[in-house]
Structure 1
Amino acid sequence: MRQGLIPKKVFFTSGAGTHKEMLESFEMALRDAGIEKYNLVNVSSILPPKCEIIDRAEGLKQLFPGEIVFTVMSRNSSNEPSRRIAAAIGCAIPEDLDSDFGYLSEHHSYGETEKCAGLYAEKLAENMYFTWKNERPARTMNIAKTAEVDDEGNWTTVLSAAVFIL
């Protein structure tokens, strides 16, 4: 059986950043999330079988500056004063993660609370899982981040990510 680049572990993180430049606000959000030192590659939304969910601190210890790192990332930016922005990742986890796969979902929005955005992303992942497997996942989870653009209209970026470790 062919086995390509299949992640062995995943952790979840989020961050927010503000700067007068949009790109630099994204960099600040990456720094807040702890993933600014890696070459990030966005991938779609499958949680592989046998992929252990670990905490952020443990995951960051296993990465090296400059490493190519695969992520499922949601991000949102705005410079509209007082605008609330949100980014969330939802996760649907199967009963038997040793032999089955789960789903990850990305959601980004305006005006939502962190809780609302997170629950929406979680429900998205659950529904994607259900439409494929015709059953509910064993459990779901989410990570979300919100921020409000300051009165000066500096760029604000939020992101949430599932970060894979090969």
Structure 2
Amino acid sequence: MIPSKIFFTKGVGVHKDLLASFETALRDASIEKYNIVMVSSIFPPGCNILTKEEGLKYLKPGQIVYSIMAKNQTNEPNRLISAAVGLAIPSGNNHYGYLSEYHAFDMNEKETGDYAEDLAATMLATTLGIEFDPSIAWDERKDIYRASGRIFNSMNICKSAYGDKNHLWTTVIAAAIFII
């Protein structure tokens, strides 16, 4: 089983029960009706990225789907939470790429998303043998990766939210959903 397509989605949910807040986040992301199996972080060679709307057309309620998912939850009022999935795609269609999941407290969407994207690109760069200084900023490393000609693209999807002021559970998710 090698996925041929993938789409990205994100959501937030708030509820008095932890599990129900997760379900509500899945619903917000339009993936609540599937049986989601978490997998590790390899982006298959030649996998096509679809929009969420296009990807959902391939799925049926109750179907088992494979996902890279980041999740974060809190019941602390006004606590900033975030969850992101990063992607790094190599040049050409003959090498695999990387997906990463990252969740954080007190980081905004841009910071969390950039971190997840950096993780995926760094994993790919080390696999491809691209030399870089890990202490330099992500924006500088991104330029080095792209200049190498071996990393074609990178991206992320992220969701953040502040914890509910009345101590209800708040859940954020970001997910990459594989289609086989």
TM-score normalised by the chain length of structure 2: 0.88
Q: How far apart, CA to CA, are the structure 2 residues paired with 1:105 and 1:7? A: 17
Aligned twin of 2:140: none
- Give the alignment partner of residue 100 of structure 2, picking from 97, 105, 117: 105
Q: Residue 134 of structure 1: CA displacement?
A: 1.3
Q: Does 1:25 align with 2:21?
A: yes
Aligned twin of 2:46: 50
Q: Does 1:158 align with 2:172?
A: yes
Q: Deviations over 1:14-59 (max 9, x none)?
A: 0000000000000000000000000000000000011101110000
Q: Which amino acid is the alignment partner of residue 173 of structure 2? A: L
Q: How far apart, CA to CA, are the structure 2 residues paired with 1:109 and 1:23? A: 19
Q: Residue 138 of structure 1: CA displacement?
A: 1.3
Q: How far apart, CA to CA, are the structure 2 residues paired with 1:16 and 1:131? A: 33
Alignment of 1:38-77 (within 5 A): 38-77=34-73
Runs of 5+ consecutive residues of structure 2 not aligned to the other structure: 131-144, 146-150
- Give the alignment partner of residue 143 of structure 1, picking from 139, 157, 163: 157
Q: Residue 155 of structure 1: CA displacement?
A: 0.1
Structure 1: 4+ residue segments shifted above 3 A: none
Q: Residue 156 of structure 1: CA displacement?
A: 0.3
Q: Which amino acid is the alignment partner of residue 77 of structure 1? A: Q
Question: What SS does structure 1 have at the residue aligned with 2:78?
Answer: coil
Q: How far apart, CA to CA, are the structure 2 residues paired with 1:61 and 1:153? A: 37
CA RMSD, Structure 1 to Structure 2 (Å): 0.7
Q: Which amino acid is the alignment partner of residue 20 of structure 2? A: E
Q: Residue 115 of structure 1: CA displacement?
A: 0.9
Q: How far apart, CA to CA, are the structure 1 residues paired with 2:129 and 2:102? A: 22
Alignment of 1:77-96 (within 5 A): 77-96=73-92
Q: Which amino acid is the alignment partner of residue 26 of structure 1? A: F
Q: How far apart, CA to CA, are the structure 1 residues paired with 2:152 and 2:178? A: 21
Q: How far apart, CA to CA, are the structure 2 residues paired with 1:19 and 1:33? A: 16
Q: Structure 1 vs Structure 2: percent identity of aligned residues?
A: 53
Runs of 5+ consecutive residues of structure 1 not aligned to the other structure: none
Q: How far apart, CA to CA, are the structure 1 residues paired with 2:64 and 2:165? A: 37
Aligned twin of 1:133: 128
How many residues end up aligned between the 2 structures?
161
TM-score normalised by the chain length of structure 1: 0.95
